Amino acid sequence: SGTVIVQDVKTGEILAMATAPTFNPNNPGKGSDDNRGNRALSQIYEPGSIMKALTMAALIEQGVVKPTDKFKVPGELRRAGHVLHDSDPHGTERWTLAGILAKSSNIGTVLAADKLDAQILHDYFKAFGVAEPTGLQFPGESRGLLPKAEKWVGTTRYTIPFGQGFSMNTVQAASVYQTIANGGVRIAPTLVRSWTDADGVTHTP
């Protein structure tokens, strides 16, 4: 299955929300039960590397790291009794924070995130809308799960910064990038601009 969200970053308005496979709304009874929902809101997943940008934003906003700061990034990193790897094997590299993001390095992201308290990073994730209601108030929405900072133990402390160990829906993921594209100003997503009742009166949410 797949979902697509098109959002105006300045207004928060969702201009398009599509899922596939779908069903014919003129004959919903013929559609599969699995396809009659709205996966963009009801289906949650581990977002993975797309959330590295959120971690980088928190680090830069807190002033603990600059995009040009350099890190010594080994080919593997041992944390909490486990060995972390990047998707592409490599030797020890010298990458800037911007380079870590460009390379989508899990190890580099962990090394950078070590400079930020777990509670602060957790609060940034929440401020970006991770595991928070979208505000669309559609039935069947799943808000996902982000563990409390005190439960970031073991490998969780190291995997969350690069997008594993928590879950979200597609509208929440789009909202994260709306915030980044809007210069750090988050605007809650909206889908209905107005509606007109039987008496011809127009209402706005």
Catalytic site residues? 49
Closest CA to 40 of 130, 127, 164, 138: 138
Q: How far is CA 202 from CA 12, 172, 188, 190, in A?
A: 21, 28, 22, 17
Note whether 156 and 147 are within 8 A (CB): yes
For residue 19, the surrounding DSSP H or E stretch is: strand 14-20
Please tell me whether residue 86 adopts helix, strand or coil conformation. coil
Question: Of 120, 92, 121, nearest to 107 (Cα)?
Answer: 92
**Token digits for 38?**
């709205």
Structure tokens at 42: 């009801």
Asked if 158 and 110 touch (Cβ cutoff 8 Å), the reply is yes
